[in-house]
Amino acid sequence: MPTLLWFRQDLRLADNPALAFALKGPDPVIPVYIHAPGEESPWAAGGASSWWLHHSLRALREDLRQRGSELILRSCADTGAELLNIASQTQADRIVWNRRYEPAAITRDARIKSMLRGEKLHCESFNGALLREPWEINTKSGGPYQVFTPFWRQCLSLADPAPPLPAPTSLPAPQRWPRSSSLEELNLLPRIAWATGIESAWTPGSHQAHALLQHFLRHALGGYPAARDRPDLDGTSRMSPYLHFGQISPREIWHALRAHAADNRIAGWRESRFLTEIGWREFAHHLLYHFPETPLQPLRAPFARFAWRNDAAALRAWQRGQTGYPIVDAGMRQLWKTGWMHNRVRMIVASFLVKDLMIPWQEGARWFWDTLVDADLASNTLGWQWSAGCGADAAPFFRIFNPVSQGQKFDAAGDYVRKFIPELSALSSDWIHAPWNAPPQLLQGAGIELGVSYPLPIVDHGAARKRALAALSALKNQTDS
Ligand SMILES: Cc1cc2nc3c(=O)[nH]c(=O)nc-3n(C[C@H](O)[C@H](O)[C@H](O)COP(=O)(O)OP(=O)(O)OC[C@H]3O[C@@H](n4cnc5c(N)ncnc54)[C@H](O)[C@@H]3O)c2cc1C
């Protein structure tokens, strides 16, 4: 009898434990993907992620077809009922999948598992997304970690994760395939063509993930510790959307890094900066699993009473890259144009939103959710709570990034700003991060009219910093009294 292989955020054939389990016997395997955005609310995939998902499903279907199989697509409001429906149409007696860790997915999957088992179907789920399950790593007292370093130290003290499983060369097909929706019927692509920049920046799919990883290991790994902070360089791996959609697994990355280090006699790869960043992804999932309320609530409860401002015009200026601070605007335009933003700049724009503008971090998290191709509930929540000073192991609130000096330090020549803000492209590096300080004749020569061709700063950073610190002291006084 056939096995249903329920694909979710594990859109790959190699190192896919649910697929490997399904292939243990001779029985046919029916791969299915079920699109049920209503069940993911309020975190259904945003516009950029939906674009990624569309192209990823097409790539996965192609990989399956090359192995004599198919990808059955369905769109519905109730995944459990749809799985049961497909199982009864195909006489499948087993349903297998790889686990997800978002709170809504955990609740939904537990409900589906118990319902399917009640219908006498055999269900199994596996870890295909993390190096360690979030519940495997605990403090001495048995609770979750809230500080990264000891968390990662414990992960590294364990044996290497199992080597990745190879992709199968073929999948046994059923005698008849059940009905499938077309990919277009899932309506994942935007109705108006705003994704052209994303299209030219990315190729979703497992093959591309592996090609990019190999390119990174060969050409960028050595320089990564310094280059990872430089948005003007192509110094990071760009693995994030592929990891989010499971087109490459962290175990594959771990073992690729290990093999690369062995071939090139690189010592200390386990402690390398690159693997540590994969560790932050693990930590993000650990936190989301143990603190499922954190996508909306600060981990440090008093921050819920912070005197946030409601300023729709400032929020819109931030979203559109029109704040008048070039490094902030370049980041927000990179995000809009390419569906991705460099990590250093994510930290700068987040600090600017929550501290200079005092707009709630949840507004920023929501905008990132809609515009990032790598939008990931665990990593996005960690990133925003870290930036707002209200999360685990967070940057203290009083450390407020100065957008001018951050730009001067990490984009010294201004190349990143010039790439995304063409209005400023003729400005020399001396003034590019603070054009309002440039001599008027120089601005005129560069074709810039501040307030007309490029905005004046929407806030004065010095004054905004004081305002944010005053709000922090007021919060402390409230909490202490
Ligand atoms: C405000 C904010 C929001 C963020 N939102 C997301 C998000 O929605 N999705 C997402 O994947 N990352 C998010 N990050 C983390 C980080 O910015 C991205 O993972 C990174 O920029 C992706 O680029 P890369 O793949 O080239 O990273 P690399 O530097 O090559 O790192 C390799 C991998 O390590 C992981 N990683 C690196 N840094 C972090 C981190 N700080 N937290 C968690 N994992 C990390 C990612 O999976 C990444 O692909 C956010 C960071 C901030 C400050």
Query: Hey, what domains does the chain have and what are their CATH numbers?
Result: 3-128 (3.40.50.620), 130-164+205-290 (1.25.40.80), 301-480 (1.10.579.10)
Distances (CA, A) of 151 to 22, 138, 330, 446: 33, 8, 34, 50
C-alpha count within 13 angstroms, C-beta hemisphere, residue 93: 4
* CB-based burial label for 277 (10 Å; 0-12, 13-18, 19+): middle
Q: Any idea which residues carry the catalytic annotation?
A: 277, 280, 308, 343, 361, 384
In the prediction, which pLDDT does 481 show?
Answer: 66
Cα 343 to ligand 1 centroid, rounded to whole Å: 6
Cα 374 to ligand 1 centroid, rounded to whole Å: 8
Kindly report the length of the chain: 481
Residue 327 in contact with ligand 1 by CB distance below 6 A: no
CB-based contact 140:169 (threshold 8 Å): no
CA-CA distance, 375 to 240, in Å (whole number)?
Answer: 9
In the prediction, which pLDDT does 418 show?
Answer: 98
CB-based contact 30:3 (threshold 8 Å): yes
Atom index in ligand 1 nearest the CA of residue 384 equals 1
SS3 9: coil
Residue 353 in contact with ligand 1 by CB distance below 6 A: no
Kind and range of the H or E element at 142? none
- Tokens coding 97: 């999948």
- Tokens coding 280: 């932050």
Looking at ligand 1, which residue's alpha carbon is closest to its atom 17? 343
CB-based contact 48:370 (threshold 8 Å): yes
Tell me which amino acid residue 427 is: L
Residue 335 in contact with ligand 1 by CB distance below 6 A: no
Residue 209 in contact with ligand 1 by CB distance below 6 A: no
Cα 480 to ligand 1 centroid, rounded to whole Å: 35
Q: Which residue has the tokens 């490094």?
A: 327
Residue 286 in contact with ligand 1 by CB distance below 6 A: no
Residue 195 in contact with ligand 1 by CB distance below 6 A: no
CA-CA distance, 151 to 279, in Å (whole number)?
Answer: 9
In the prediction, which pLDDT does 38 show?
Answer: 95
Atom index in ligand 1 nearest the CA of residue 242 equals 49
Cα 379 to ligand 1 centroid, rounded to whole Å: 7
Looking at ligand 1, which residue's alpha carbon is closest to its atom 25? 238
Tell me which amino acid residue 39 is: E
Residue 130 in contact with ligand 1 by CB distance below 6 A: no
**DSSP secondary structure, 223-237, as one string:** THHHHTT-TTS--S-
Low pLDDT (below 50) residues in the chain: none
Tell whether the torsion through CA atoms of 437, 443, 447 and 450 is positive or negative. positive
Looking at ligand 1, which residue's alpha carbon is closest to its atom 19? 240
Atom index in ligand 1 nearest the CA of residue 350 equals 1
Kind and range of the H or E element at 435? none
Residue 393 in contact with ligand 1 by CB distance below 6 A: no
Residue 228 in contact with ligand 1 by CB distance below 6 A: yes
The whole model's pTM is what? 0.98
Cα 65 to ligand 1 centroid, rounded to whole Å: 32
**Strands 3-7 and 94-98, sheet pairing:** parallel
Angle of CA points 411, 414, 416, to nearest 5°:
75
**DSSP secondary structure, 134-159, as one string:** TTT---TTSS---SHHHHHHHHHHSP
